[in-house]
Amino acid sequence: MQVNDIKIEKINDNLWEIPKTAGMNVPGRIYASEKIISQLLNDEALKQVVNVAHLPGIQKYSLAMPDIHWGYGFPIGGVAATDFYDGVISPGGVGYDINCGVRLATTSLNKNEISKRIKTLVENLFKDIPTGVGASGAIKKLSGKEIKNILTNGAEWAVQNGFGNNEDLLFTEENGRLKDANPNSVSKRAIERGLDQAGTLGSGNHFLEIDFVEKIFDQEVAEIFGLFENQIVIQIHTGSRGLGYQICDDYLKLLVQSEKKFGFNLPDKQLACAPIQSDEGQDYLSAMKCAANFAWNNRQIIMHLAKKSFQKTFNISEVELNFQLLYDVSHNIAKIEEHIIDGELKKVCVHRKGATRAFSSQNKTLPEKYFDVGQPVLIPGDMGRYSFISVGTSKAMDETFGSSCHGAGRLQSRNQALKIAKGKNLIEELNKAGVTIQAKGMKTIAEEMPFAYKDVSDVVDVMHNSGISKKVAMLKPIGVIKG
């Protein structure tokens, strides 16, 4: 099969391979159904899978998840592991929104209990959690000392300052903090951009969503995750805001200029990278960790603000609400991990760009509660249909460096979505689908309407049928706030 002059060989119904050709250090592999592959015919994402395979030190495969679409350098939905000692780190393999991720909290409430007050709840959430471009003011403006503390300690800062509790850290990837983050590797401009953005949602595809559990696929795992049918849960999707964007921008400029120094000859300047062990590589890794810590702190604060909105709306106590963090996952990050490659345990830098970590059971990084079942994998869909909770597997550890998909993946560009939305009453369409929405403007709603995205069930089914991450529950949205 040829797609945009790229030869693709079908391995099975859910897996395709791009054979290694001149310049590629490894083959490319795409997890996709026939339907999803056909949707890529006019997308440059497959070419980006090939480009990523040129990275020095890349291991096994240049990987793409079924939510693959074109991105900066790497495709969104791309995964690549590079040798820690001889490989590179690439900001394009992380993205501009460093540690964009999803946090999901459960409650004791059910759908029927909140249905009559959903509009008030959405209004209160929108009032209490700043949204939109440049959103600020969720908490007092940070001092330079405080923000550096956040960049070093991540979500720990939020807990220490009354935004949640220590148990929340146990259920956050990396306990909400990457070690060895040095604020000295972050520019003054990046720090300035973050001073008043802690606890803010931002714009674009970021959201806070009220869902109910519509269907459970694996009762045993669902019980361990604390899920039951018709239960109200809350998803928070955001990242490191302007601070993370600035860090990415700063280091891309630096590494593009450094390319000759390292002697790389890559097919795309957007793959600008540095050896992990170089000064430039270590500086970017440290700065990226700072942004990741800022993002975990951001989601921790937002979750606390959301809990207070629920209590205010329904006039109930913390005990009655039972607002519990199920898990927080990152899907734009580079992590130093150990994986078995060709029978040997190797230290690698795993770039996940629009991909979620999906570790299996018995992994020491998981909280004790999930040790025997595996890591929760949170996969939001579009705001009009559904989202999924899955669980990581041993096959993910064998095939994808413990990685799965991160969402639906766009079908339409934002400009295309705006054209299609012209003349439509989008809020009314969502209301008919049972979703109450509040946003800063109609433009964001138009850009993020369901027709702009793949059907997330198609994406999740590929991962489920491949054995990479297994479905646990399906969620249905009933309330959304956006920038």
Q: Which residues are catalytic?
A: 406
Any binding-site annotation on 97? yes
CA distance 478 to 336: 38
Residues in the chain: 483
Any binding-site annotation on 23? no
Any binding-site annotation on 406? yes
Any binding-site annotation on 434? no
Any binding-site annotation on 209? yes
Any binding-site annotation on 387? yes
Any binding-site annotation on 351? no
Which structure tokens are listed for 242? Answer: 């302007």
Any binding-site annotation on 380? yes
Any binding-site annotation on 408? yes
CA distance 419 to 1: 32
Any binding-site annotation on 382? yes
Any binding-site annotation on 69? no
Any binding-site annotation on 298? no
In the chain, the N- to C-terminal Cα span, in Å, equals 41
Any binding-site annotation on 381? yes
CA distance 78 to 46: 10
Annotated binding site for Mn(2+): 97, 206, 237, 331
Annotated binding site: 97, 205-209, 237, 331-332, 380-383, 387, 406-409, 482
Which residues are part of a known binding site for GMP? Answer: 205-209, 331-332, 380-383, 387, 406-409, 482
